[in-house]
A = this chain, B = another copy of it.
Amino acid sequence: MKKLVTLKQISKELDISISTVSKAIRNHKEISLDTRKKVQAFAKLHNYRPNSIAVSLKNQRTKNIGVIIPEIVHHFFTTVIEGIEKVANSRGYNVIVCLSSESFEKEVVNMQTLVNGSIDGFLVSLSKGTQAKKDYHHLNEVMDQGMPLVMFDRVVDDIDCDKTIVDDTQAAFEAVSFLLETGCRKIALITTVDYVSVGKLRTEGYEKALQKQGIPIEPNLTIKIEDIENCEILINQLFDSQHFDGVFAVNEYFAVVAMKIAQKRGFKIPDDISFIGFTDGILSKCATPSLSSIAQHGTEMGEISAKMLIDRLEEKEDEFTHLTQIIKTTLVERESTKRLS
């Protein structure tokens, strides 16, 4: 195997810090264009490859991929893992999963545990804790060591790496537009607190759809749920205080709980109130009535993310710039919404 230059050697040779070299190679806008050009030219000349440090440190591949997800009792993440497993196994990689349990500290510990020779690269979906804290040093450190990282679903702009996302704003826009097109005029939104990126983006899509139809946004029609244990209480309060003919929920669990409450209060679904949930899982299919919901295609997201990571590892992807892949969502119509006339 041809000897490859390391970030450390480039740093020494050009008298620039490792972190700056790493960012310059990744074409980070924080670094001046001059420095980026100089570092990239040197790196190219000396055959630097993004993961060369990881390779030279370990001298051998583990053929393991590390996955860090916020929680496991969440159908969407389990389908992503299914997709990751599928592609990884077909290409001879094994998958190791750690949970952050939505905690920043656990996410850091997990990355430290796995980076230490157990894996070749990371697939990460951020914890709520990390999103609230906006501290991404653990992700930058891993990348500065030359280990490829792909973020999926819960990503941030501040990290320059490969990403796979669904267009949450657009998906929510389409769902709420569908409710409007089928006759709903007052649509309640059941969402999460704002620091959860997907909750925020889905709220934006909801507002855009209303604005497009010239329908005023009524803040009292929105409830933001932080703790899932309280969701029944908060949804009951919404029913007590407001009248509405449509509900858009940012996950299927909130939607199904809201449907049960509506039925207990004597509302007919979809005649009195229509419901759409986000994430098309087993709950949507098994609910009575079955729930119309937005399929995020978690398996596909897992497959694409794993492919991006393995391509980087196997250096099939030679570009220094990173890609963001957007998964197209689809609205699966079931019994909880009216038909388009």
Q: Which residues of A contact B (CB under 8 A)?
A: 62, 64, 72-73, 75, 78-79, 81-82, 85, 89, 94-99, 101, 106, 109-110, 113-114, 117-118, 253, 256-257, 260, 263, 282-283, 286-288
Contact = CB atoms under 8 A, between A and B. Distances in A.
Nearest to A112: B94
Contacts of A75: 73
A89 B106 contact: yes
Contacts of A89: 101, 106
Contact of A85 (B94, B99, B260): B99
Contacts of A95: 98-99
A101 B88 CA distance: 13
A256 B287 CA distance: 9
Contact of A94 (B78, B110, B257): B110
B101 A98 contact: no
A89 B102 CA distance: 14
Given A72-B81, A89-B101, A97-B98, 11 more contacts: A78-B78, A94-B109, A94-B110, A94-B113, A95-B98, A96-B118, A97-B99, A117-B117, A118-B118, A253-B286, A287-B287
A156 to B, nearest CB: 24
A64 B117 CA distance: 14
B96 A97 contact: yes
Question: Which DSSP category, helix, strand, loop or mixed, fits chain A's interface?
Answer: helix
A109 to B, nearest CB: 6
A72 B282 CA distance: 13
A286 B263 contact: no
10 contacts: A62-B113, A64-B113, A72-B72, A72-B81, A73-B75, A94-B113, A95-B98, A260-B286, A287-B287, A287-B288
Nearest to A109: B94
A36 to B, nearest CB: 37
Given A94-B109, A97-B96, A287-B286, A78 B72 contact: yes
B73 A256 contact: no
A298 to B, nearest CB: 10
A81 B101 CA distance: 11
A171 B113 CA distance: 39
A81 B260 CA distance: 29
Nearest to A67: B97
Contacts of A287: 286-288
Contact of A72 (B82, B118, B283, B288): B82
Given A263-B288, A283-B282, A101 B73 contact: no
A280 to B, nearest CB: 13
B73 A79 contact: yes
A252 B48 CA distance: 54
Given A79-B73, A82-B72, A118-B118, A286 B96 contact: no
A109 B85 CA distance: 13
Contacts of A114: 96
Contacts of A117: 117
A199 to B, nearest CB: 20
